[in-house]
Chains A and B, each alone.
Chain A
Amino acid sequence: MGRNFRFASVVLYGFVSLWSLIVLAPLAWMLFAAFKSRREIFTNPMGVPKTLSFANFSQAWDVGMGTFLLNSALVTVASVAIIVIVSGMAAYVLARSESLWLRLIYLLLVAGFAVPVQAVLVPLFQMLSAAGFLNSRLAILLPYAAYGIPFTTILFFAFFLDFPKELEEAARLDGCSRLATFFRIILPLSGPAVASAAIFQAVFIWNEFLLALLLLTQPGLKTLPVGILQLKGEYSSNWPAVMAGLTIAVIPILLIFIASQKYFVRSLAGLGK
């Protein structure tokens, strides 16, 4: 049995290593390419860069990476905050109510989760245009929040179902209103659920491209994925600079992910329950 077990772990580790290689290869390629010249990227596409020049990074930064970073950070933080607060309160009410109407609303939320962004792009654009939100941060903030809410509500709903009712009853006896119970007792004790929901949404919003491209045309409002596109000209593209820009874009989210991967993995592992 020991021999079988060892064989199985060798196979499993081999598979996981191969998988990691497949995932990491493009990232490594991006990093290497960011240091190459526009010539070297074609003459030596796979190799390690010959020199360690930061020229591409400064070129990328000069297109306005600072502004894009700030925009992305603002949009991500604000959307995630809206998503967590709205989903948290909605999920709490849904988890505690036995009303049939609220059950129906929960089903609608789950259904909303299934609607792809592409299917509603045109009406979404018209709605935001009619509301006068185009080319403001709200144009991107509100759709992001709206798209994050169904999934996060489902995540919180499962968490709140298991939340000990005695604590809420003790809070009621201690004089807390529903809202005070939520903010003083439930939310402080929902750390893992909030963290995992926040990371999940932050990664998605940080990388989102299509909506940002469609709804933000003013350079001062562009987020990172759209901003980096400026390095691609009409006739020629500065690929090393694009790669340098992407490297800069990846670093913040990578750091957040590494710092909180425990919650991220746990939230995905717990989704089945």
Chain B
Amino acid sequence: MHSLTLENIVKDYGSFRAIHGVSFAVEPGEFVVMVGPSGCGKSTLLRAIAGLEAIDGGRIVVNDRDISADEPSERGVAMVFQNYALYPHMTVAENMGFALKIAGRPKAEIAAAVERAAQILRITEHLAKKPKQLSGGQKQRVAIGRAITRSPEIFLFDEPLSNLDAALRSQMRIELGRLHAELKATMVYVTHDQTEAMTMASRIVVLNGGRIEQVGTPLELYNRPQNRFVAGFLGSPRMNFFAARIAGVDGDKARVTLDGLEGEETMALAADHGLKPGDEAILGVRPESFAEGAGGWTLAGRVAVVESLGRETLLYADAAPLKTFDSESHEGYVAVHRSSQLAAAPGDAFVFSIRPNSAFLFTREGRTVGFPASLAS
């Protein structure tokens, strides 16, 4: 098993800096997912590891070997592309064995490597076919098989599931999880889909604007986001944010008010919160953290949209005069998640409440200064 270390990677496109000195280490056998909105630099970073983009600063190290200046084929990495990138004029077997053929390996060795990869991926019966005779899922398997055949030190995946339909995507997620367990290989995976990140990763790297926002296990990031970006990025529907104000501070406790809502509640703060009375802040509430009925900050309003998913229900509600902080998410509605079937319809009145011990508190700059009591560590 092999480790991968990125040290202070910088990438410029002309005068635009796409990657601002990113550093992190992937432990041997880890499945690391790089996630972030489009344009955050995650694909650029992956392509830099593969050697398809030259870096303008920093080092890429595999097992103590600096590969920053090596040719892509000499780096010991294999990459699975979003559009599969299978050679249309070759059969599946030729596609999978092409790298070994270029390396001048004997035919018997190539055939054995292709056969082994095909068995792992259960595509043995397709080996003689051309890519255009395969379905999307089968093509993606061949693309993964091509990577396996090379027995690389590091596997790289560039949004490999985004061209598949929803059912196939969740099936391939399981397949990739099985593959990782079976090959015990070091894998780096790029996606913009936070569900893929949460379900498959040993650790997640959240990127934004060419910088790392936070690195951690899926639950660490979900429960202890260091900032509002990470808190908002992970979780679907995303966290609700409300404009808040600090009425008073007493050690590691603060009295907080919400804009547009009556009542002042006391919240526990992290030790280095740095808040003063009168500061503006942002309150964050996950859709599943609302309590039913009155108590704490009580929200009363009307249901605008109901999404009944069978085992769960999502309500989008208008809680005026309380306003959400970022009007672009949920169309300005408050998103509420209930893990049961509800007989709600648009226009129904509702009463929910925010308990201060189940909410996050962020500074206006976005730093997390208060965590829900049940998740405090």
Contact = CB atoms under 8 A, between A and B. Distances in A.
Interface of A: 164, 166-167, 169-176, 180, 185, 188-189
B311 interface: no
A169 B89 contact: no
Contacts of B230: none
Nearest to B79: A173
B85 A189 contact: no
Contacts of B24: none
Contact of B103 (A167, A170, A175, A185): A175
A174 B102 contact: yes
A57 B150 CA distance: 63
Name the prevailing secondary structure of the A interface residues: helix
Interface stretch (B70-78, B190-198, B236-244, B349-357): B70-78
B310 interface: no
Nearest to A166: B85
A189 B89 contact: yes
Interface in B98-112: 98-99, 102-103
B102 A167 contact: no
A166 B102 contact: no
B93 to A, nearest CB: 14
A260 to B, nearest CB: 19
Interface string B135-173: 000000000001000100000000000000000000000
Contact of B72 (A172, A180, A185, A189): A172
A175 B264 CA distance: 65
A185 B87 contact: yes
A164 B82 CA distance: 12
A169 B81 contact: yes
B50 interface: yes
Given A169-B52, A173-B50, A175-B73, A164 B99 contact: no
A173 B77 contact: yes
A156 to B, nearest CB: 18
B83 A166 contact: yes
A169 B86 CA distance: 11
B72 A167 contact: no
A167 B72 CA distance: 14
B73 A174 contact: yes
A170 B85 contact: yes
Given A164-B83, A169-B81, A170-B81, A175 B89 contact: no
Interface of B: 50-52, 71-73, 77-79, 81-83, 85-89, 98-99, 102-103, 146, 150
Contacts of A173: 50-52, 72-73, 77-79, 99
Contacts of A180: 102
B252 to A, nearest CB: 52
B87 A166 contact: no
A174 B98 CA distance: 7
A179 B370 CA distance: 59
A46 to B, nearest CB: 53
Contacts of B150: 174
Contacts of A174: 73, 98-99, 102, 150
Contacts of B81: 166, 169-170
Contacts of B78: 173
Contacts of B87: 167, 170-171, 185, 189
A164 B85 CA distance: 8
A172 B83 contact: no
A182 B252 CA distance: 66
A171 B77 CA distance: 13
Given A172-B73, A173-B72, A167 B98 contact: no
Nearest to B98: A174
Contacts of A164: 83, 85
Contacts of B73: 172-176
A169 to B, nearest CB: 5
Contacts of A188: 89
A164 B73 CA distance: 19
Contacts of A189: 87-89
A169 B50 CA distance: 10
B154 to A, nearest CB: 12
Nearest to A167: B85
B114 to A, nearest CB: 13
22 contacts: A164-B83, A164-B85, A166-B81, A167-B85, A167-B87, A169-B72, A169-B79, A170-B87, A171-B87, A172-B71, A172-B72, A172-B73, A173-B51, A173-B73, A174-B73, A174-B99, A174-B102, A175-B99, A175-B102, A180-B102, A185-B87, A189-B89
Contacts of A171: 87
A171 B87 CA distance: 9
A189 B131 CA distance: 13
Contacts of B146: 170
Contacts of B71: 172
Nearest to B102: A175
A180 B99 CA distance: 12
Contacts of B102: 174-176, 180
A189 to B, nearest CB: 6
A167 B79 CA distance: 12
A204 B86 CA distance: 37
A168 B51 CA distance: 13
Contacts of B88: 189
Contacts of B103: 175
B61 to A, nearest CB: 19
Closest 6 CB pairs of A and B: A175-B73, A166-B85, A174-B99, A170-B85, A175-B102, A188-B89
A166 B72 CA distance: 14
Given A166-B85, A180-B102, 20 more contacts: A164-B83, A169-B72, A169-B85, A170-B79, A170-B81, A170-B86, A170-B87, A171-B87, A172-B73, A173-B78, A173-B99, A174-B98, A174-B102, A174-B150, A175-B73, A175-B103, A176-B73, A176-B102, A185-B87, A188-B89
Contacts of B83: 164, 166
Contacts of B98: 174
